[in-house]
Amino acid sequence: MRILSKTALLLISLLSLSTLVMSEFAGTAAGVGIGVVDQVKKIGMPIIQQKLNDVQVGTIEFSGGSVQDLDLKFKFNNFDNIKVGFSGANNGVSVDAHDISGEITGKFAYKFLFIHTSGNFKVAMDNDAVKLTMAVPLTSQNINGRSVPAVDIKNFNLNIDSSKIHITLSGSILADIADAFVFIFKRLIIYEITKVVNKDVPDVAKSSINKILASTNGRETVYGNIMLDFTFPAQPKITDSNMDLFLNATLYDSSRGSYYIPAVAVADVQMLPATSNSVELSVSHYTADSLFAALQEMNLFKYHLDPAIAGKFASMLTTTFLDGLLPGIEAKYGKDLPVSVGFKSTSSPNALFQKNDFGVLLDLDLTFEVNNETAIVISFEDFSSTINVSLDKTNLKIQVEKCAIDQVQASQSKIGDFNVSEFKAFFNVASRAAIPFINNMLLENPFVLPDTFLGVVKIIDAQFQSFDNYLAVSVTPQIIA
């Protein structure tokens, strides 16, 4: 992660925004693989199954009789056997389930010739007797002015193969009457049942799923009080081979009641192709800067270091050692006295992404204290470093590779004049020795992410790579049903 000047940030950002080939107005773009969508069926299809079984068919009348009090009990035998695919025609996902069994029970009344009969019936369906196909377009819903993800359900078609059902009638019923009723059931009643199911289930299932999505209000906690706004600034684009999502992706401190919008416009973002089991995120400056703004508000760019917690590096935090960095500090306070250092970002950092170079603009104050007295405050503008970011289970780890300073000035000095050139030269050498300590501190205090997101998504792996104008994050999720 290299930090460049604000002028360079502005020029490179303007140039890169003018050269994107495929882009949308969003903070982050997400290419979703079909393998990820396939996992979602573990959550969506149980809802469909429940809604199938909740259908109230009512009384079905036919010539000579009726059936009533119908109880439907469909069962998806194995959710893994349900086939899903992208559907460009529907801007959504196609679903094809052929492994459905179950039973239907109810009461019947029937007049055959001059004989009146009534009783109970039970219809047993073979494992592959029922087939269901549907399309699930991905869209959005307006919740309090926010464009929250939503689904539609179209082309819903439940079909029961009458040659694969077995009807049992209770009571003393003549064989001729039983045969006549079974014939009517297979030819007429099954059709009437599926007609009601195909009419009622799409709306109630869609309503149930969208109610769950609406309850999120398009927000999810990602770290502490930091939340992610995952509303849609642009509608999803789905072809027969790709699913492209465009997210607001503002990160903010929820404890403050509203989120701070960084001074960077919501960006055009580069869409990345996903592999089958991945979500490929293209993170813009806007999203990164909103995260930095939230961390700044939470005072997470503030740290106090003193010899008591510095371990083997405590010897570096003395007036004698630091006299090379801060000439006059030993003369002012004496030899080998402990020195504490306060680190504080004076403004929210800004991100810059270039090929293999993750840049951050950071203004930083270092306050050196001896005997609880401020000896000097050193202010850095455009402090630069190079870092690696990785994910270990739920721990987001950051490691510094190198750092350097460009613009420096001093204030509140009690140790005499401050030589900028000498300070920069000494700091750039001494910082190499301090990096192992910094990395150890970062390892001991990682950003611990939630075990799951939205209660159902577990992150198995994440890889980070910087490109021109965006940070590519390849995420391997696991859906937990």
| pLDDT band for position 6 (cuts 50, 70, 90) | very low
Integer Cα distance of 175 and 260 in angstroms? 76
Residues 6+ apart with CB under 8 A from 402: 385, 386, 431, 432, 435
The pLDDT > 90 percentage for the chain reads: 56
Residue 1 reports pLDDT greater than 60? no
Integer Cα distance of 410 and 419 in angstroms? 9
For the chain, the residue count is 481
pTM, full prediction: 0.82
Q: Over the stretch 250-279, which tens digit does the pLDDT of each residue have? A: 999 888 766 666 666 666 788 888 999 999
The pLDDT assigned to 261 comes to 65
Integer Cα distance of 271 and 268 in angstroms? 10
Integer Cα distance of 125 and 366 in angstroms? 75
| pLDDT band for position 414 (cuts 50, 70, 90) | very high
Q: Over the stretch 102-150, which tens digit does the pLDDT of each residue have? A: 999 999 999 877 788 888 999 999 999 999 999 999 999 999 899 999 9
The pLDDT assigned to 96 comes to 98
Integer Cα distance of 42 and 481 in angstroms? 6
Compute the average pLDDT of residues 42-50: 95
Question: What is 53-109 written as a DSSP string?
Answer: HH-----EEETTEEEEEEEEEEEES-GGG-EEEEEGGGTEEEEEEEEEEEEEEEEEE
Query: CB count, 10 Å around CB of 356?
Result: 11
Among 293, 223, 285, which residue's Cα sits nearest to residue 258?
293
Which range, 168-182, 183-197, 408-422, is most confident? 183-197
Among 220, 373, 347, which residue's Cα sits nearest to residue 289?
347
Domains of the chain, each with CATH number or no CATH = 6-31+242-479 (3.15.20.10), 34-215 (3.15.10.10)
Q: Is 114 exposed, middle or buried (0-12, 13-18, 19+ CB in 10 A)?
A: exposed
Query: CB count, 10 Å around CB of 385?
Result: 20
Among 172, 98, 150, which residue's Cα sits nearest to residue 129?
98
The pLDDT assigned to 20 comes to 34
Compute the average pLDDT of residues 65-85: 96
